[in-house]
Amino acid sequence: MSKQQLVVIGNGMVGHNFLTKIVEAGGLDQYEITTFCEEPRAAYDRVHLSEYFGGRSADDLSMVEGDFFNDNGITLHLNDRAVRIDRENKIVHSSQGLALQYDKVVLATGSYPFVPPVPGHDREHCLVYRTIEDLEAIMASGQQSKVGAVVGGGLLGLEAANALKQMGLETHVVEFAPRLMMVQVDEGGGALLRRKIEDLGVSVHTSKNTQNIGDGERCRHKMEFADGEVLETDLILFSAGIRPRDDIAREAGLKVGERGGIEIDNCCVTSDDDIYAIGECALWDQRIFGLVAPGYQMAQVAVDQLLGKSESVFTGADMSTKLKLMGVDVASIGDAHGNTPGALTYEFSDGPNQIYKRIVISEDSKKLLGAVLVGDASDYGNLLQVYLNGIDLPEHPDGLILPQRDGASSAAIGVDALPETAQICSCHAVSKGDIAAAIDGGACCMGDVKEATKAATGCGGCAALTKQVLDAELMQRGVEVNTDICDHFPYTRQDLYNLVRVGEIKSFQELLDKHGKGHGCEICKPAVANILASCWNEHILQPMNVGLQDTNDIYLGNMQKDGTYSIVPRVAGGEITPEKLIVLGEVAKEYGLYTKITGGQRVDLFGARLEQLPEIWRKLVDAGFETGHAYGKSVRTVKSCVGSTWCRYGVDDSVGLAIDIEHRYKGLRSPHKLKFAVSGCTRECAEAQSKDIGVIATENGWNLYVCGNGGMKPRHADLFASDLDRKTLVQYIDRILMFYIRTADRLQRTSVWMDNLKGGLDYLREVIIEDKLGIGQELEEEMAHVISTYECEWKAAIEDPEKVKRFRSFINSEAQDENILFVEERDQIRPATPEEKIELKQSA
Amino acid sequence: MSIKVEVCQLDDLVPYSGCCALVEGQQVALFRVDEGETVYAIGNYDPIGDANVLSRGLLAEVNGVITVASPLYKQHYCLTTGQCLDTENVRVPAYAVSVEDGAVYVSIPQADDKAKAA
Ligand code: SRM
Ligand SMILES: Cc1cc2nc3c(=O)[nH]c(=O)nc-3n(C[C@H](O)[C@H](O)[C@H](O)COP(=O)(O)OP(=O)(O)OC[C@H]3O[C@@H](n4cnc5c(N)ncnc54)[C@H](O)[C@@H]3O)c2cc1C
Ligand code: SF4
Ligand code: FES
| Residue A416 pLDDT greater than 90, yes or no | no
Q: Which residue among A639, A645, A647 has the greatest number of ligand 3 atoms within 8 angstroms of its CB, and so is best to mutate?
A: A647
- Per-residue pLDDT averaged across A31-35, rounded? 97
Distance of residue A745 Cα from the nearest chain B Cα, in angstroms: 20
Average pLDDT for A443-457? 84
Those residues whose C-beta lies under 8 Å from the C-beta of residue A203, and which sit 6 or more positions away, are: A170, A171, A172, A173
Which residues does A253 contact at the CB level (< 8 Å), separation at least 6?
Answer: A87
Q: Give the residues across from A358 on adjacent strands.
A: A347, A372
The closest ligand to the CA of A683 turns out to be: 3
Residue A711 binned pLDDT confidence (cut-offs 50, 70, 90)? confident
C-alpha A449 – ligand 4 centre gap (Å): 13
The average pLDDT across A56-67 equals 89
pLDDT on residue A385? 84
Band the pLDDT of A447: cuts 50, 70, 90: confident
- Contact in structure between A676 and A658 (CB atoms under 8 Å): yes
Question: Quick check: A549 contacting B, CB < 8 Å?
Answer: yes
Backbone angles phi, psi at A662, to 5 degrees: -65, -40
**Burial zone of B91 (CB within 10 Å; 0-12 exposed, 13-18 middle, 19+ buried):** middle
Query: A interface mutation test: which of B12, B35, B54, B56 has the most A CBs within 10 A?
Result: B56
- Mean local confidence (pLDDT), A609-621: 96
- Alpha helix (H) residue ranges in A537-653: 543-546, 578-591, 613-622
Task: Name the residue with higher pLDDT: A481 or A837.
Answer: A837
For A215, the 3-state DSSP assignment is: strand
Residues with CB under 6 A from ligand 4: A 425-427, 455-462
User: Does the distance separating the beta carbons of A519 and B66 come in below 8 Å?
Assistant: yes
Residues with CB under 6 A from ligand 3: A 641-643, 647, 649-650, 654, 679-681, 683-685
Query: How far is CA A110 from each of CA A90, A251, A274, A320, rounded to the nearest angstrom?
Result: 22, 16, 19, 20
B14 in contact with chain A, both atoms CB, cutoff 8 A = yes
On the CB side of A244, how many CA atoms lie within 13 Å of its CA?
Answer: 29
Residue of A644, A648, A748 lying closest to A697 (CA atoms): A644
Which residues on A lie below 8 Å from B59 (Cβ)? 519-520, 525, 547
Q: What DSSP element (H or E) covers B106?
A: strand B103-109
Question: Which pTM does this prediction carry?
Answer: 0.56
* pLDDT tens readout for residues A129-139: 999 999 999 99
Say what the pLDDT of residue A159 is.
Answer: 87
Q: Of A500, A570, A491, which is closest to residue A523 (Cα–Cα)?
A: A491
- Above 60 in pLDDT, residue A176? yes
The tens digit of pLDDT for each residue in B14-48 reads 999 999 999 999 999 999 999 999 999 999 999 99
A74 has pLDDT over 50:
yes
Residue A797 pLDDT > 80:
yes
User: Given B22, B61, B64, which is nearest A520 (Cβ)?
Assistant: B61
Q: Is A807 exposed, middle or buried (0-12, 13-18, 19+ CB in 10 A)?
A: buried
Give the number of whichever ligand sits closest to the CA of residue A459: 4
Rounded mean pLDDT of A685-695? 97
Task: Tell whether ligand 2 has an atom less than 6 A from the beta carbon of residue A13.
Answer: yes
- Which pLDDT does position B63 carry in this prediction? 86
Is a pLDDT exceeding 50 seen at residue A543?
Answer: yes
* Of A566, A619, A573, nearest in space to A594 by CA: A566
Q: Which fold has domain B2-117?
A: Rieske Iron-sulfur Protein (2.102.10)
Q: What is the mean pLDDT of chain A?
A: 91
HEC-encoded secondary structure of B22-59: EECCEEEEEEECCCCCCEEEEECEECCCCEECHHHCEE
* Residues 6 or more apart whose Cβ sits within 8 Å of residue A596: A603, A604, A606
Cβ of residue B37 closer than 8 Å to a chain A Cβ: no
User: Which pLDDT belongs to residue A530?
Assistant: 93
The conformation of residue A487, written as its DSSP 8-state character, comes to: T
List, as one string, the DSSP characters of A312-370: ---------EEEEETTEEEEEEESTT--STT-EEEEEEETTTTEEEEEEE-TTS-SEEE
Structural domains in chain A?
Answer: 4-111+244-306 (3.50.50.60), 126-240 (3.50.50.60), 416-481 (1.10.10.1100), 493-550 (no CATH), 633-791 (3.30.413.10)
Distance of CA B18 to the CA centre of its chain: 9
pLDDT tens, position by position, A392-411: 888 788 888 887 654 333 44
A812: which chain B residues are within 8 Å (Cβ-Cβ)? 7-8, 21-23
Q: What angle is formed at CA B58 by the lines to CA B54 and CA B63, rounded to 5 degrees?
A: 105
pLDDT at A414: 64
Q: Residue A343 — very low, low, confident or very high, per pLDDT cuts 50/70/90?
A: confident
pLDDT at B114 over 70: no
**What band does A191 get if pLDDT is binned at 50, 70 and 90?**
confident
- CA atoms of A387 and A370, how far apart (whole Å): 7
- Residue A547 and residue B59: Cβ atoms within 8 Å? yes
Q: Which ligand is nearest to the CA of A239?
A: 2
- Distances from the Cα of A508 to the Cαs of A516, A637, A803, in angstroms? 10, 29, 19
What is the band of B117 on the pLDDT scale with cuts at 50, 70, 90?
Answer: very low
Q: Alpha-carbon distance B21 to B19, whole Å?
A: 7
Report the chain A residue with the minimal C-alpha distance to residue B51.
A562
Q: Is A419 on the interface with B (CB under 8 A)?
A: no
Q: What is d(CA B96, CA B81) in angstroms, rounded to the nearest whole number?
A: 10
With 90 as the cut, is the pLDDT of residue A702 above it?
yes
What confidence tier does B115 reach under pLDDT thresholds 50, 70, 90?
very low
In terms of DSSP H, where are the helices of A623-746?
Answer: 654-665, 726-743
Q: Are A205 and A173 in contact (CB under 8 A)?
A: yes
Distance between CA atoms of residues A97 and A711, nearest Å: 48
Burial class (CB in 10 A: 0-12, 13-18, 19+), A703: buried
A326 or A30: which carries more pLDDT confidence?
A30
Question: Which ranges constitute the DSSP H helices of A93-238?
Answer: 132-143, 155-166, 187-199
In chain B, which residues have their Cβ closer than 8 Å to the Cβ of A554?
Answer: 17, 56, 58, 71
Beta partners for residue A247, in sequence order: none
Is A546 in the B-facing interface, judged by CB distances under 8 Å?
yes
pLDDT, one tens digit per residue, over A655-685 is 999 999 999 999 999 999 999 999 999 999 9
User: Domain extents for chain B?
Assistant: 2-117
Angle between helices A726-743 and A493-502 (to 10 degrees): 110
Q: Give me the pLDDT at residue A378, please.
A: 80
- Could you tell me what percent of chain A has a pLDDT over 70? 98
Residue A412 has pLDDT above 60, yes or no: no
Residue A163 backbone zone (phi > 0: left; psi -120 to 50: alpha; other: beta): alpha
C-alpha A844/C-alpha A838 separation (Å) is 10
DSSP letter for each residue of A739-790: HHHHHPPTT--HHHHHHHSTTHHHHHHHHHTS-TTS-HHHHHHHHHHHHHT-
Nearest residue (by CA) to ligand 2, atom 6, is A47
User: In chain A, what is the straight-line distance between the N-terminal and C-terminal CA atoms, in Å?
Assistant: 72
User: Would you say A346 and A397 are in contact if contact means Cβ atoms under 8 Å apart?
Assistant: yes
Q: Is the pLDDT of residue B65 over 60?
A: yes
Indicate yes or no: CB of B58 within 8 angstroms of CB of A555: no
